[in-house]
Structure 1
Amino acid sequence: MEDSSVNLAYEDGIATLTLNRPDSLNAMSGRMMRSLERRLDEIERLSGLRVVIITGAGRAFSAGGDLKEFEEALSASGTKLVDILRYNQDILQRVEDIPVPVIAAANGTAIAGGLELLLCCDMILACEGALIGDGHVRYGIVPAGGATVRLRERLSPSRAAQLFYTASTINAEILAAWGLVNEVVPKDRLMDRARELALEICRNSPEAIRAIKSLGRTQSGDRTRQDRLRMELEKWSHHVSHPDLAEGLRSFGVRKAPDF
């Protein structure tokens, strides 16, 4: 029987991944992470993919890792738990590495691993009243899904520290003011708005968008500012022969929308 811990729908170049353990607040069990891995494999094979949307079923986006499974793994062997966390981190990295824009549609609570999944997305939409936080330290846990890196890339050090050290959840409206959340919308409009945003993206050059996203990934780390500027120009040199560029310039000349 096919596992439905993560569902995949695909239409008009837009893939929608839905975390589907609503009775457990979409806690990231081993089964769910393996299901997510398979869905990511399927996404890689999709023809014409332009955008990915990630959301949750029920009243939560994700409450994070399945702590019951963590406790069982720790009882068996500390090494076993580390192996699980390493696997989970690899899967989250695959989400971040999706070459097209990824929109998170946070339909409710996102804590710990749920926050870490949000941070792997390019844009975050949240429903009104959604509560988002780290929460690891409340249960004596050190983040292992990338929060200590990605959250500090998105927020100021002091605001990231507030989320880490208090383990509190913060309303999406406040996080929008902080710059972590792009938009807050009524819950019954969340998926409609995510799709509207996805369709806006789909009207633009997919090749140019992929190039910009790849530059964003390569411009972190120890590279100098001049190195990053040169990388942008190198990307341009590869893009100059792509049909999207010719189509964009042609459409500008005739004052019509380009056909990408």
Structure 2
Amino acid sequence: MSTYNTLTLEESNGVATLTLNRPDAANALNVELARELMQAAIEISESATIRALILTGNGKLFCAGGDIQAFAEAGDQVGGVIKEITAYLHAAISRLTRMNAPVIVAVNGAAAGAGFSLALIGDIVLAAESAKFTMAYTGIGASPDGSSTYFLPRLIGLRRTQELMLTNRRLTAAEAEDWGMVTRAVADDELMAEASKMAAQLAAGPRLSHGMVKKLLASTFNESLETQMELESQGIASVMNTADGREGIEAFKGKRKPEFKL
């Protein structure tokens, strides 16, 4: 794994842990963190050994969004700085959401702005009970980025999304779970253990099958029934016609646990 200045990336037993690491700045996204997030996402997505990813933050907050201090220092050039940050951030999100390995986001604290957006990209999202979620963008005269206008309406519907984005309503972890925005709220001191347990389970599974699930669900709101069913047909045929597919069949026949390798 590469060494980064604003985040850490570790791998063990097929599970990578990517940690935003600017705790003194609330893990806010400046140009460097956004660039390193993109670089790490490329590294993870190109890895032949990573089978699941945990994304979390160091410190009391998950991510406070964009680095307002950096925006202030940019002065009249703030638009260019934001375009550079979002270019890196959006490339990172695209790599992580489209790779085969499932992404588990462990929201360890407050998630605001782009931090809220990052929390949404997980295939599984676990939130510490003390975590809070707020869009925050319009509070500083900004508008959403980081994929939230894509994911949030699909997760919770348009009306609730409008409320969150226009009023900056703050949600608790329990409310986020109730709304279907996160998979589960867990006790603060159990968050990383639960994320690690989930990641280990997924890492032992069939990575190509997981990738196909992600691909099919990404297209489901954009396709007709017949097109989606054809994509399902092509998908299941392709993953079953692999060594892992054959292993799954043989393990089922032999009444044993499969050992997936791809």
Normalising by structure 2, what TM-score? 0.92
Distance of 1:95 and 1:238 partners within structure 2: 22
Task: Compute the displacement of 1:63 (Å).
Answer: 0.3
Superposed structure 1 runs of 4+ greater than 4 Å apart: none
Distance of 2:111 and 2:182 partners within structure 1: 12
The one-letter code matched in structure 2 to 1:89 is H
Distance of 1:99 and 1:206 partners within structure 2: 6
Identity %: 29
Distance of 1:44 and 1:182 partners within structure 2: 23
Do residues 208 (structure 1) and 214 (structure 2) align? Answer: no
1:239 corresponding residue in structure 2:
239
Normalising by structure 1, what TM-score? 0.93
The one-letter code matched in structure 1 to 2:57 is G
Kindly provide the CA deviation profile for residues 107-137 of structure 1, in whole angstroms up to 9, marking residues without a partner as x: 0000110011111211110111110111101
1:148 corresponding residue in structure 2:
149
1:128 corresponding residue in structure 2:
129
CA contact (8 A) 1:132 1:171 kept: yes
2:170 corresponding residue in structure 1:
169
Q: Say if 1:150 and 1:68 are closer, same or farther in 2 by CA, change over 3 A.
A: same
Q: Say if 1:250 and 1:130 are closer, same or farther in 2 by CA, change over 3 A.
A: same
The one-letter code matched in structure 2 to 1:29 is N
The one-letter code matched in structure 2 to 1:253 is K
Query: Mapping of 1:245-256 within 5 angstroms?
Result: 245-256=245-256
**Structure 1 stretch 7-16 or stretch 81-90: which is displaced more?**
81-90
2:97 corresponding residue in structure 1:
96
Distance of 1:42 and 1:82 partners within structure 2: 23
Distance of 1:63 and 1:80 partners within structure 2: 17
Distance of 2:27 and 2:47 partners within structure 1: 25
Number of aligned residue pairs: give it: 258
Distance of 2:45 and 2:146 partners within structure 1: 22
Q: Say if 1:78 and 1:253 are closer, same or farther in 2 by CA, change over 3 A.
A: closer
Do residues 224 (structure 1) and 203 (structure 2) align? Answer: no
* Matched position secondary structure for 2:100: coil
The one-letter code matched in structure 2 to 1:155 is I
**Structure 1 stretch 235-244 or stretch 12-21: which is displaced more?**
235-244
1:106 corresponding residue in structure 2:
107
* Matched position secondary structure for 1:48: coil
Query: Mapping of 1:23-62 within 5 angstroms?
Result: 23-62=24-63
1:72 corresponding residue in structure 2:
73
Distance of 1:92 and 1:73 partners within structure 2: 24
The Cα RMSD (Å) is 1.7
CA contact (8 A) 1:93 1:120 kept: no
